[in-house]
Structure 1
């Protein structure tokens, strides 16, 4: 029997508009954001206070999400900023949309 793959999310956190960017992947975005906010994961997000979810995209499975994350990590910052501002020009916290 084939294992059913969970959906995956690629997401970007920041500390403020035009601030530090953190790119991550998860199969449970709401839980992962809470982990970042509580300081339970990622010393980077803890150090730079990257708690504002400014962009995310859902994928059919976590494997696809990991591949997109890998490619996006090689992007220039301006490309990531453009991706954020396409859907969130004010850099609002999107946690309310989860």
Structure 2
């Protein structure tokens, strides 16, 4: 089953699916600043474009480009800035 998700007035959209390895979403963010919350551990992989991210408890922003990934523990918040449409794969554990 494929699910659809839409956040921030349609500026972030994704398709959710399940594999033998668990749940994932494949999505796109329009340019903007966002704050996300996690309910499970997440691994975010940038597919195309780039994201500037401030992870929980971090004091500095880090830019992740296509092919790079970052992880966020469950029950945390993190901030993301994108300057152009950026696609991502998010894997949940």
Which TM class, normalised by the smaller chain length?
under 0.3
What is the TM-score when the length of structure 2 is the normalising length?
Answer: 0.24
What is the TM-score when the length of structure 1 is the normalising length?
Answer: 0.23
Greater strand share, structure number: 2
Work out which of the two has the higher radius of gyration on C-alpha atoms and give 1 or 2: 1
